[in-house]
């Protein structure tokens, strides 16, 4: 497992650096990536003997392992997640709205560039996942394989969890059971076949701490360098993971003497780590938008905003993780909570946390866009803690260093930093990289070794697995049954259920109805867009280039970009564009060719779009 994880870390770091290098020479395209990948595989072949000790796969041993109930349950859930990824095209909204489009914009220009847009997230979000996905998009002209990036990361979780847990003081028997349970948290398993970037970052967060702890014992420069690279990629995958540099820094502190032994190698690895980290994005954010974080963390004029935000985020994190996987009463919950919030508090929360999180709203179902650790694992963990305290052996001696305790407790400080600053709604999902590093604090009690032997606990665990399996089966993004066929045969099926599954089924190419009205030979299309699944407009990849149209753009500016047709979102006018649609059309000396209704989000319903032609 360590060798495989090490190769994965080096590969992702290499692709981050390769993207920057190819951009610098204006060769960010299929040919450039073909050469870069050829160099990677040639290097891997040359150094194959030094990657790990010679070993052979013992298939009998692997087979025996997965005959045990816990690994077998994990295997079944993993197979279900993989099947969903194979059967369905990616539907993660954030990925389709800005992570894939930014890659497509870069590839169209043969280099990275600050994209001209009113949608900030296309530019200011960290891009570790994007640089790893770019060669797949450039060479294969599709995003169907991108789920493998998350699936590979998911497969490393059990081994990394066991290694980190045991090194942080969790007993081996306890760590062995929880290594199969934690990855089945809803956020992990639902993103295992997704193109979201939360799970992707979680693997590197664990690996960074794991190899740092290994380096202390092995005194190996290889473990030390891999830990540095993993920490760097962790930050580029999710900027919200920056506070997790604290437990990593404490973990790697005893190994810093390796720098004196290998100074040149350390400098080289640190140079790679810089380009594989969030630092380039932070620098560019500061340069172009004067906000290094890209999160626009403005607390307005709210008194004691830090305290209020921390408390609100703590409540939001709790209810999101303990919400039932299927919650048909969410409408009543949302109404009651909103009606009972004092008006002044509601006003203050609206300034520091985005809607609907500021209202403590919950969704009808746990989906990959909002799921964190999830109801099943959260409740099982809580029950295990109470049982362990009751069954603990008070005379069990523990000899631990202050350093180890600091490593184990420091993720709490990292969590507090996020609760203090975060303004997003789906905070439970954003904290996916944190959970596996926070849980060891709760499992070090000696009583857990007795708890995992209890029949009630094992029964409860398999009930948790069963709920997770049900969620995978009915997931709107990748249902494992012919849901729309069944709904068509049910005339009394709820319209909301039918709409949600229909929107998810069509989301990968949500703009397909609009593309049907475009001229067949159109190579450049202007779009007024803000948080829309733009990726659809690029399909098939390489056939068309998209240009974002902003309020300050003139007809001459757009014609210079070879824009003749513009797909216009009606809601943009009066919201992002100061004038009305009619006034803007007159100002641009254009004409409306056709109006079309598109249902891009189930929560918002259909919206009017217009195809406009410049005269």
DSSP string covering 420-485, please? HH---S-HHHHTHHHHHHHTHHHH-STTHHHHTT-HHHHHHHHHHHHHHHHHHHH-SSS-SS-HHH
CA 287, distance to chain mean position in Å, is 25
Q: What is the mean pLDDT of residues 227-240?
A: 95
Instruction: Decide: 6 and 84 in contact? Cβ < 8 Å.
Output: no
414-458 pLDDT tens trace? 999 999 998 888 999 999 999 999 999 999 998 999 999 999 999
Question: How high is the mean pLDDT of the chain?
Answer: 91
Residue 521 lies in a domain: yes
Query: 10 Å Cβ neighbour count for 419?
Result: 19
Q: What is the mean pLDDT of residues 143-147?
A: 94
- Point out the least confidently predicted range of 9-13, 267-271, 572-576, 582-586: 572-576
Confidence class for position 105, pLDDT limits 50, 70, 90 = very high
How many whole angstroms separate alpha carbon 364 and alpha carbon 325?
8
Looking at residue 513, its pLDDT comes to 93
Confidence class for position 305, pLDDT limits 50, 70, 90 = confident
Residue 518 domain boundaries: 512-614
Query: 10 Å Cβ neighbour count for 13?
Result: 27
Confidence class for position 584, pLDDT limits 50, 70, 90 = very high
Looking at residue 242, its pLDDT comes to 95
- Choice between 294 and 260, residue whose per-residue pLDDT is larger: 260
Asked if pLDDT for residue 490 goes beyond 90, the answer is no
CA 426, distance to chain mean position in Å, is 11
Domain count, the chain: 1
Query: 10 Å Cβ neighbour count for 440?
Result: 23
- Point out the least confidently predicted range of 12-16, 218-222, 446-450, 492-496: 492-496
Phi, psi (5° rounding) for residue 565? -110, 145
Which 3 state secondary structure label does DSSP give 358? helix
Q: How big is the CA angle at 587 (ends 534 and 613), to the nearest 5 degrees?
A: 50
48-60 pLDDT tens trace? 776 655 455 566 6
519-563 pLDDT tens trace? 988 999 999 999 999 999 999 999 999 999 999 999 999 999 999
How many whole angstroms separate alpha carbon 210 and alpha carbon 167?
8
Q: What is the mean pLDDT of residues 207-212?
A: 97
Q: What is the mean pLDDT of residues 378-384?
A: 96
- Point out the least confidently predicted range of 51-65, 103-117, 142-156, 389-403: 51-65
Which 3 state secondary structure label does DSSP give 162? helix
Q: What is the mean pLDDT of residues 238-260?
A: 95
Looking at residue 200, its pLDDT comes to 95
pTM above 0.85, yes or no: yes
Asked if pLDDT for residue 394 goes beyond 70, the answer is no
Phi, psi (5° rounding) for residue 592? -80, 120
Tokens encoding 412: 């709490």
Instruction: Decide: 87 and 199 in contact? Cβ < 8 Å.
Output: no
- The share of the chain scoring above pLDDT 90, in percent, equals 77
Residue 522 lies in a domain: yes
Asked if pLDDT for residue 62 goes beyond 70, the answer is no
Confidence class for position 497, pLDDT limits 50, 70, 90 = confident
Residue 580 lies in a domain: yes
Looking at residue 357, its pLDDT comes to 87
Looking at residue 565, its pLDDT comes to 95
Omega before 356 cis (within 30°)? yes
User: What number of CA atoms fall less than 13 Å from residue 305's CA on the CB side?
Assistant: 16
Q: Furthest-apart CA pair in the chain: how many Å? A: 85
**Residue 524 host element (H or E):** strand 524-528
Asked if pLDDT for residue 173 goes beyond 90, the answer is yes
CATH number of domain containing 598: 3.40.190.10
Tokens encoding 393: 């052996």
How many whole angstroms separate alpha carbon 212 and alpha carbon 219?
10
Residue 198 lies in a domain: no
Confidence class for position 354, pLDDT limits 50, 70, 90 = confident
Looking at residue 53, its pLDDT comes to 54
Looking at residue 356, its pLDDT comes to 87
Confidence class for position 215, pLDDT limits 50, 70, 90 = very high
How many whole angstroms separate alpha carbon 610 and alpha carbon 574?
15
Phi, psi (5° rounding) for residue 563? -90, 125
Looking at residue 106, its pLDDT comes to 97
As a residue count, the chain comes to: 615
13-26 pLDDT tens trace? 999 999 999 999 99
**Residue 547 host element (H or E):** strand 545-548
Query: 10 Å Cβ neighbour count for 162?
Result: 21
- Choice between 50 and 229, residue whose per-residue pLDDT is larger: 229
Residue 576 lies in a domain: yes
Residue 302 lies in a domain: no
Residue 92 lies in a domain: no
Residue 538 lies in a domain: yes
Q: What is the mean pLDDT of residues 27-46?
A: 94
317-344 pLDDT tens trace? 999 999 999 998 988 999 999 889 998 9
- Point out the least confidently predicted range of 113-122, 387-396, 590-599: 387-396
Q: What is the mean pLDDT of residues 302-311?
A: 87
């Amino acid at each position: 497992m360590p060798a495989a994880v090490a190769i994965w870390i080096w590969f992702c770091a290499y692709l981050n650096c390769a993207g920057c290098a190819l951009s610098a020479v204006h060769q960010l395209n299929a040919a450039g990536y073909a050469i870069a990948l050829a160099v990677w595989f040639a290097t891997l072949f040359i150094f194959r003997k030094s990657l790990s000790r010679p070993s052979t796969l013992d298939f009998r041993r692997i087979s025996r392992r997965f005959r045990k109930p816990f690994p077998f349950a994990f295997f079944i859930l993993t197979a279900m997640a993989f099947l969903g990824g194979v059967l369905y095209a990616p539907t993660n909204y954030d990925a389709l709205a800005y992570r894939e489009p930014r890659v497509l914009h870069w590839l169209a220009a043969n280099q990275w560039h600050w994209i001209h847009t009113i949608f900030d997230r296309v530019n200011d979000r960290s891009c570790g996942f994007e640089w790893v996905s770019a060669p797949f998009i450039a060479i294969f002209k599709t995003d169907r394989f991108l789920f493998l990036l998350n699936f590979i990361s998911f497969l490393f979780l059990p081994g990394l969890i066991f290694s980190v847990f045991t090194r942080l003081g969790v007993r081996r028997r306890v760590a062995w059971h929880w290594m199969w349970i934690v990855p089945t948290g809803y956020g992990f398993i639902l993103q295992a076949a997704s193109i979201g970037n939360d799970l992707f970052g979680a693997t590197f967060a664990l690996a960074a701490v794991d190899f740092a702890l290994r380096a202390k014992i092995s005194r190996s420069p290889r473990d030390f360098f891999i830990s540095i690279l993993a920490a760097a990629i962790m930050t580029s995958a999710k900027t919200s993971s920056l506070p997790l540099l604290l437990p990593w820094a404490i973990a790697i502190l005893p190994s810093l003497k390796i720098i004196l032994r290998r100074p040149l190698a350390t400098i080289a690895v640190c140079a790679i780590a810089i380009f594989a980290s969030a630092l380039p994005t932070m620098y560019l954010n500061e340069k172009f938008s004067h906000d290094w974080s890209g999160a626009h963390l403005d607390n307005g004029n709210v008194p004691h905003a830090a305290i209020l935000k921390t408390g609100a985020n703590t409540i939001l994190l709790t209810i999101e993780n303990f919400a039932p996987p299927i919650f048909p009463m969410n409408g009543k919950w949302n109404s009651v909570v909103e009606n009972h919030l004092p008006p002044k508090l509601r006003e203050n929360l609206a300034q520091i946390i985005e809607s609907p999180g500021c209202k403590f709203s919950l969704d009808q179902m746990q989906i990959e866009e909002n799921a964190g650790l999830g109801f099943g694992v959260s409740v099982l963990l809580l029950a295990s803690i109470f049982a362990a305290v009751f069954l603990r052996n008070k005379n069990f001696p523990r000899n631990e260093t202050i350093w180890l305790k600091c490593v184990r407790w420091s993720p709490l400080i990292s969590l507090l930093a996020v609760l203090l600053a975060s303004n997003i709604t789906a905070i439970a999902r954003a904290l996916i990289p944190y959970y596996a590093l926070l849980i060891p604090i709760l499992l070090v009690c000696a009583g857990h070794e007795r708890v995992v032997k209890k029949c009630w606990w094992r029964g409860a665990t398999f009930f948790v697995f069963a709920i997770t399996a049900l969620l995978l089966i009915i997931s709107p993004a990748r249902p494992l049954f012919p849901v729309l066929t069944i709904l068509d045969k049910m005339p009394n099926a709820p319209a909301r259920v039918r709409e949600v599954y229909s929107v998810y089924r069509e989301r990968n190419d949500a703009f397909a109805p609009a593309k049907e009205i475009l001229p067949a030979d159109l190579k450049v299309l202007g779009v007024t867009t803000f948080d829309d699944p733009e990726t659809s407009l690029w399909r098939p990849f390489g056939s068309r280039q998209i240009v974002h149209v902003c309020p300050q753009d003139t007809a001459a500016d757009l014609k210079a970009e070879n824009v003749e047709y513009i797909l216009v979102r009606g809601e943009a006018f009066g919201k992002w564009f100061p004038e009305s649609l009619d006034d803007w059309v007159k100002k641009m000396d254009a004409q409306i060719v056709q109006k079309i209704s598109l249902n891009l989000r189930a929560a918002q319903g259909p919206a009017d779009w217009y195809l406009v032609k410049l005269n």
